Amino acid sequence: MLTSHREPDWLTMMADGTVKQLNPFSGTEVWTVAGRGNRPLGVTLPDPVPLDPAMQGRYCPFCEQRYLETPPEKSRMIRHPDGTREVRYGTTAEELFTTVAEFRRVPNLFEILSYQYWNANYGYTLPPRVAARKAAYLDSPIGRDHVLGVARTKLLAGGRTHEQVDAMTEAEQVDFASGFFGGGHDVIISRRHFVDGATDNTQLAASGTMTPDEHGALLSFTVESIQALFNLNRYARYVVVFQNWLKPAGASFDHLHKQLVAVDERGVQAERAVALLRDNPNVFNENAVNYAGYKNLVLAENDHAIAFAGFGHRFPSLEIYSKSAECDPWEQAPEELRGMSDMLHAMHAATGVDVPSNEEWHYRPIDVDVAMPWRIVLKWRISTLAGFEGATKIYLNTLDPWTIRDRVAARLLTLRDDGKVSPDLRIGTEAECRPNSLRYHR
């Protein structure tokens, strides 16, 4: 007997306008209650305060005149006068201020998994090339002062008193700083704190204020950095990549940065995805991109990526998928990375600088044998979880996916007309939305 295909109920519109959402990959249940979404999205910005010219490049520890307040950097991308870019590795203390880094990768001062974690649990030690770099850096008087100064800051922030730090030998402080060279938690820091030419403190530089070309450089630098962490630590099974924008989304500073964390597990999200893929290799087409197309949720598309208003997330979300047949981002062709970057950049630009957000990357763990698409979720942190969510595990989301679609698509059209995002975007109804556009398992 023939059976007809039944579309899953990931989105259900109730008679009163309430939208019930179910995430096909996490099982998260979300309700969007009619009438709760008619509120401004962004945080309330402070009254503008003129910027002090004397503070240029010194607004926070991530700024370009305060390089010595972060641990020794692992790599930096510089831009030459002719517009070409170059990645440089192992910058010495003497060279820190000889160029201005468009982006720099430095160890996180407060790691999620420290060097000591990997050493104690796996016997991990610095690879010879990294140990040699540490020794060379410490042989320089400027480098040694840099390392000891940052180590002292970290020790004091960790609860030790000045007297306790003073009682440590220099060798103990240097050993404590091993994570500055071979740790697995890095920060990628953008050059700007405020946009070029900013006159007041509300003009922050964000992902969406970059040019598409600048954002493409940031994304390629991030992808290369993922591979670098895998090459550094053979015990790492996954590198978590995320970006917290503004303090309500967990950012320490309102200065654009991404974080990369090497971990020794795949994580719950990836484990669930692997189980679903073993049962149905095409699940990310069927339950994500295809479904979004059938529900008219697609925001934009180009030759290498597609974005849609997400469903079943705790916060209003935009989902960006790579169409590439190559699952590992670091193995994708430059044009594929650029297509993904252009799509992500456009979603940030449409979101706006004043909206707190989390950018979360998902890709195939290196020890997984099934094909999985690279995807990025951009979540708007515009609501606060409360007792209802805790008691029911049903999350109240202030915007339903179609409202998100309407807001973002309209903004994308304006941005494209103004030349602020890639002209190659096919927005809204311009998108082809062909079924099975993701090629990851072919």
**In-domain check, residue 118:** no
Q: How many domains does the chain have?
A: 1
Gyration radius from the chain CA atoms: 23
Backbone angles phi, psi at 169, to 5 degrees: -75, 160
Residue-level pLDDT at 36? 57
54: domain CATH number is 3.30.428.10
Residue 79: band (very low, low, confident or very high) from pLDDT cuts 50, 70, 90? very high
Residue-level pLDDT at 33? 86
**In-domain check, residue 23:** no
110-126 pLDDT tens trace? 899 999 999 999 999 99
**Percentage of residues in the chain with pLDDT exceeding 90?**
82
Residue-level pLDDT at 216? 98
pLDDT of 4 > 60? The answer is no
Dihedral of the CA atoms 416, 420, 425, 431 (nearest 10)? -50
Residue-level pLDDT at 5? 54
| Contact status, residue 260 vs residue 240, Cβ threshold 8 Å | yes
E strand or H helix that includes residue 85: strand 85-89
| Contact status, residue 189 vs residue 180, Cβ threshold 8 Å | no
Take residue 429 and report the two structure tokens written for it: 């109804």
Which residues are bridge partners to 205 per DSSP? Answer: none
348-404 pLDDT tens trace? 999 999 999 999 999 999 999 999 999 999 999 998 888 888 899 999 988 999 999
Backbone angles phi, psi at 418, to 5 degrees: -85, 0
Spatial distance between the Cα atoms of 330 and 4, rounded to a whole number of angstroms = 40
**Percentage of residues in the chain with pLDDT exceeding 70?**
96
**In-domain check, residue 170:** no
Residue-level pLDDT at 179? 84
388-418 pLDDT tens trace? 888 999 999 889 999 999 999 999 999 999 9
Residue-level pLDDT at 159? 84
**In-domain check, residue 305:** yes
pLDDT of 3 > 50? The answer is no
Q: Which residues contact 53 (CB under 8 A, 6 or more apart)?
A: none
Quickly count: other Cβ atoms within 10 Å of residue 202's Cβ: 14
- Which of 42, 98, 46 lies closest to 67, judged by CA? 98
| Contact status, residue 324 vs residue 363, Cβ threshold 8 Å | no
Spatial distance between the Cα atoms of 79 and 87, rounded to a whole number of angstroms = 9
Query: Cα 430–433–438 angle (5° rounding)?
Result: 135
Spatial distance between the Cα atoms of 426 and 432, rounded to a whole number of angstroms = 8
Residue 40: band (very low, low, confident or very high) from pLDDT cuts 50, 70, 90? low
Q: What is the pTM of this model?
A: 0.95
Residue-level pLDDT at 41? 65
316-341 pLDDT tens trace? 999 999 999 999 999 999 999 999 99
DSSP E strands, 202-252? 238-245
Which whole number is the average pLDDT over 213-227?
A: 98
- Which of 87, 415, 440, 151 lies closest to 273, judged by CA? 440
**In-domain check, residue 213:** yes
Q: How far is CA 404 from CA 293, 311, 379, in A?
A: 15, 10, 11
Q: Please, what is the average pLDDT of the chain?
A: 93
Residue 2: band (very low, low, confident or very high) from pLDDT cuts 50, 70, 90? very low
**In-domain check, residue 415:** yes
Residue-level pLDDT at 174? 85
Residue bearing tokens 């072919």: 442
What SS3 class is residue 224?
Answer: helix
pLDDT of 35 > 70? The answer is no
pLDDT of 34 > 80? The answer is no
**In-domain check, residue 369:** yes
Quickly count: other Cβ atoms within 10 Å of residue 149's Cβ: 12
130-177 pLDDT tens trace? 999 999 999 999 999 999 999 999 998 888 999 998 899 988 888 888
**In-domain check, residue 431:** yes
Enclosing domain of residue 327:
41-64+191-442
Residue-level pLDDT at 9? 84
